[in-house]
Structure 1
Amino acid sequence: MIARKLRGQLTHGVALRAMACAGLALSGLATTPVRAQGMSPDEIIVTARRTEERLQDVPISITVFSGDQIEKRNIAVASDLAAFTPSLSVNTRYGPEKSTFSIRGFNQDASTAPTVGVYFADVVGVRAQGGTAGGNTVGAGAFTDLQNVQVLKGPQGTLQGRNTTGGAVLLVPSKPTDLLEASIEGTYGNYDQRRVQAMFNAPLADTFKIRVAIDRNERDGYMKNHSGIGPRDFNDVNYFYGRLSIVADLTPDLENYTIFHYSRSDTNGYASHYEFCDRNPTSPFAGGNLTRYYTSLAACDQIDRQAARGDGPLDVEVGNPNPRMFLRTWQAINTTTWQASDTITIKNIASYGEYREQSQFQLYSDNFFVPDTDVTRFYAGLFGPQVGGRFDYIQLGTMPNYNAAAESTVTEELQLQGRSADGKLNYVIGGYLEFSRPIGWNQQRTGIYGNCTDPGTMDCAAGLPLSAASPIPGTIISESRTRMKFDNHGVFAQGTYNFTDKLALTLGGRWTFDKIDGLSESNRWVYVQHPTFGYIVASRVCNDNLNHPTVNLVANGGDTSACRTRIVNKSNKPTWLIDFDFKPTPDTLIYAKYARGYRQGTVNFTNPGIETALPEKVDAYEVGAKLTFRGALPGYFNIAGFWNDFSDQQVFGALIAKEGSGLVGGAAIINAGKSVIRGVEVDAGITPVQGLRFSAGYTYLDTELKELVPPPLSADSPFEEIIPRGAIGGPLTYSPKHKMSLSGDYAVSLGENVGELSFGAIFTYTAKQLVDGSIEVPGYSLLNLNAGIADIGGTGFDVMLFAQNVTNKKYRTTTGGGYDSAGIGDFMYGPPRMYGLRLKYNFGR
Structure 2
Amino acid sequence: MPKGSILKVELLASAALATIVSTPAFAQATNDDIVVTARRVEERLQDVPISITVLSSQQIANRNIVNAGDIGTYVPSLTSNSRFGPENTSFAIRGFTQEAQTAPSVAVYFADVSALRSQGGTQSGNGAGPGSLFDLQNIQVLKGPQGTLFGRNTTGGAILLVPQKPTSELEGYVEGSVGNYALRRLQAVINVPLADTARLRLGMDRQTRDGFLENTSGIGPKDFNNVDYIALRASLVLDLTPDLENYTIASYSKSDTNGYIPKIATCNTAPTGFSTGILAPRACAQLDRTPGFYQIENGNPLAMQKIEQWQAINTTTWLASDTFTVKNIASYGEFRTRNNTNLFGDNFTFAGAPFTYVGVYADKDSYNAAQYTFSEEVQLQGRSANDALIWQAGFFYENSDTLGIQSTLSPILLACTDIYAFQCSDPVGASIGRATGNIQNSQSAYKFESLGLYAQATYKLTDQFSVTGGIRYSKDRVEGLGQVRRILFPTPNVPVFVCANNPTISAVDASACAVTTVQKSSKPTWLIDIDYKPVDDVLLYAKYARGYRQGGVNASNVGLGSTWQPEKVDTYELGAKASFSGAVRGYFNIAAFYNDFSNQILQANGVPTPGNSPATALINAGKSRIRGVEVEASLTPVQGLTFDVGYAYLDTKLQSFNPPAFDPTRFTALIPTATVGGPLTLSPKNRVTVTGTYTLPIDSSIGKISFGATFTHTDSQIAAAPAATPIGVLPATDLLNLNLNWNSVAGGPLDFALFATNVTNEKYLAIVGGSYNSAGFESVGPGQPRMYGGRVRVRF
Using structure 1 for the length normalisation, give the TM-score. 0.88
Where 1:610 maps in the other structure, the secondary structure is: coil
Shift of 1:75: 1.3
Tell me which residue corresponds to 1:671.
620
- Give the counterpart letter for 1:741 in structure 2: T
Judge conservation of contact 1:749–1:755 (CA < 8 Å) in 2: no
State the Cα distance separating 1:39 from its structure 2 match.
8.6
What are the residue-to-residue correspondences of 1:437-476 with 2, within 5 Å?
437-455=401-419, 457-458=420-421, 460-466=423-429, 470-471=433-434, 475-476=437-438
Q: 1:536 maps to what in 2?
A: 494
Distance 1:804 1:572 in 2: 45
Residue 698 of structure 1: aligned partner: 647
Q: Is the 8 A contact 2:426 2:438 kept in 1?
A: no
Matching residue of 1:15: none
Out of 274, 295, 300, which is 2:279 matched to? 295
Runs of at least 4 residues off by over 6 Å: none
Greater shift, 67-76 or 669-678, is seen at 67-76
* Map 1:259-278 → 2, pairs under 5 A: 259-278=249-268
Structure 1 equivalent of residue 681 of structure 2? 733
Shift of 1:401: 1.1
1:159-210 CA deviation, whole Å, 9 max, x = no partner?
Answer: 1110000000000000000010111011000000000001000001000000
Partner of 1:356: 336
Please tell me whether the aligned partners of residues 88 and 129 of structure 2 are also in contact (alpha carbons under 8 angstroms).
no
The Cα of 1:44 is off from its aligned counterpart by: 5.4
**In structure 2, C-alpha distance between the alignment counterparts of 1:104 and 1:44, rounded to whole Å:** 24
Contact 2:458–2:467 (8 Å) recurs in 1: yes
Count of matched residue pairs:
764
* Amino acid paired to 2:404: G
**Equivalent AA in structure 2 for residue 511 of structure 1:** Y
C-alpha distance in 2 between matches for 1:330 and 1:138 = 12
- In structure 2, distance between residues paired with 1:536 and 1:261: 46
Structure 1 residue 117 displacement after superposition: 0.2
Deviation of the 1:578 alpha carbon: 0.4
Instruction: Give the equivalent residue in structure 1 for 2:76.
Output: 86
Residue 839 of structure 1 corresponds to: 792
CA distance in 2, matches of 1:402, 1:441: 7
Q: Tell me if the contact between 2:210 and 2:226 (Cα under 8 Å) persists in the aligned partners.
A: yes
Task: Name 1:374's counterpart in structure 2.
Answer: none
AA at the equivalent of 1:598: Y
Q: Which amino acid aligns with 1:595?
A: A
Residue 760 of structure 2 corresponds to 807
* Match for residue 711 of structure 2 among 744, 759, 763: 763
Three-state SS of the structure 2 residue aligned to 1:466 is helix
Kindly indicate whether the alpha-carbon contact (under 8 Å) linking 1:461 and 1:535 is maintained by their aligned counterparts in 2.
Answer: yes
Q: CA deviation at 1:720?
A: 4.4
Determine the structure 1 residue equivalent to 2:583: 632
Partner of 1:612: 563
One-letter amino acid of the counterpart of residue 815, structure 1? V
Query: Residue type matched to 2:413 in 1?
Result: Y
Look up the match of 1:181: 171
**1:106-505, aligned counterparts within 5 Å?**
106-282=96-272, 288-289=273-274, 291-306=275-290, 311-370=291-350, 386=351, 388-455=352-419, 457-458=420-421, 460-466=423-429, 470-471=433-434, 475-505=437-467
Task: State the one-letter code of the partner of 2:79.
Answer: S
- Give 1:500 deviation, angstroms: 0.5
Whole-angstrom distance in 1 between the partners of 2:190 and 2:669: 58
Does the aligned pair in 2 maintain the 1:654–1:668 contact within 8 Å?
Answer: yes
Does the Cα contact within 8 Å between 2:263 and 2:344 map onto a contact in 1? no
CA drift of 1:90 comes to 1.2
Q: Displacement, 1:675?
A: 0.3
Q: Decide whether aligned partners of structure 1 residues 45 and 301 sit closer, same or farther in structure 2, where only a CA change above 3 A counts.
A: closer
Q: Deviations over 1:123-153 (max 9, x none)?
A: 0000121111234112211110000000000
Provide the rounded CA distance (Å) in 2 between the counterparts of 1:39 and 1:464. Answer: 72
Kindly state the Cα deviation for residue 723 of structure 1 after the two structures are TM-superposed.
Answer: 1.6
Q: Is the 8 A contact 1:398 1:404 kept in 2?
A: yes
CA distance in 2, matches of 1:634, 1:749: 18
1:307-329 Cα offsets, whole Å, 9 max, x none, are xxxx2211111122221010111
| Conservation of the 8 A alpha-carbon contact between 1:617 and 1:647 | yes
User: What do the CA deviations read for 1:479-508 (whole angstroms, capped 9, x no partner)?
Assistant: 110000001110000000000010010000
Once the two structures are superposed, what CA deviation does each residue of 1:80-113 show, in whole Å capped at 9, x if it has no partner? 1001111000111111111110000000111100
- Decide whether the 8 Å contact of 1:126 with 1:138 is kept in 2: no
Q: Which amino acid aligns with 2:458?
A: T
Alpha-carbon distance change, 74 to 816 in structure 1, aligned in 2, over 3 angstroms:
same
From 726, 736, 743, give the equivalent of 1:783.
Answer: 736
1:521 aligned residue (455, 476, 483): 483
Q: Which amino acid aligns with 1:761?
A: A
Instruction: Indicate conservation of the 8 Å contact 2:116/2:125, yes or no.
Output: no
In structure 1, the gaps of 5 or more residues are 1-37, 283-287, 371-385
SS at match of 1:79: helix
Q: Which secondary structure state, in structure 2, belongs to the residue aligned with residue 527 of structure 1?
A: strand
Residues 628-667 of structure 1: pairs in structure 2 closer than 5 A: 628-661=579-612, 664-667=613-616
Is the contact made by 1:404 and 1:443 (CA closer than 8 Å) also made in structure 2?
Answer: yes
Letter in 2 for 1:61: S
Query: Is 1:652–1:725's contact at 8 Å kept on the other side of the alignment?
Result: yes
1:228 to partner: Cα distance: 1.5
CA distance in 2 between partners of 1:826 and 1:204 (Å): 55
SS in 2 for 1:150: strand
Helix, strand or coil: the match of 1:521?
A: strand
2:540 equivalent to 1:590? yes
Alpha-carbon shift at residue 656 of structure 1 (Å): 2.6
Q: 1:277, CA displacement in angstroms?
A: 1.1
State the distance in 2 between where 1:679 and 1:44 align.
Answer: 25
* Percent pairwise identity: 50
How big is the shift at 1:398?
2.2
Are residues 752 and 503 of structure 1, via their aligned partners in 2, closer, same or farther at CA, if it must alter by over 3 Å?
closer
Give the secondary-structure state (helix, strand or coil) at the position aligned to 2:76.
coil
- 1:551 aligned to which of 505, 512, 520: 505
* Letter of the 2:283 counterpart: A
The 3-state SS of whatever aligns with 1:340 is: strand
Q: Are the equivalent residues in 1 in contact too, given 2:443–2:556 (CA < 8 A)? A: no
The range that moved more, 48-57 or 349-358, is: 48-57
Task: Quote how far apart the aligned CAs of 1:719 are.
Answer: 4.0
Question: What SS is found at the alignment partner of 1:85?
Answer: coil
2:774 partner letter: S
Scaled by the length of structure 2, what TM-score is found?
Answer: 0.94
CA contact (8 A) 1:450 1:460 kept: no
How far residue 641 of structure 1 moved from its aligned partner, in angstroms, is 0.2
Superposed displacement of residue 262, structure 1: 1.0
CA RMSD of aligned residues (A): 1.8
Distance 1:543 1:578 in 2: 49
SS in 1 for 2:427: coil
Matched, 1:681 2:634: no
Aligned-partner Cα distance in 1 for 2:593–2:79:
17
2:532 corresponds to 1:568? no
Q: Distance in 2 between matches of 1:345 and 1:672?
A: 44
Partner of 1:7: none
Structure 1 804/239 Cα, relative in aligned 2: closer, same or farther at 3 Å?
same
Shift of 1:697: 0.6
Cα distance in structure 2, aligned partners of 1:518 and 1:824: 33
Work out the CA distance in 1 between the residues paired with 2:637 and 2:255: 44
**8 Å contact 1:139–1:328 — kept in the other structure?**
no
Q: 1:477 to 1:727 in 2, by over 3 A?
A: same
Cα deviation for residue 304 of structure 1 reads: 2.2
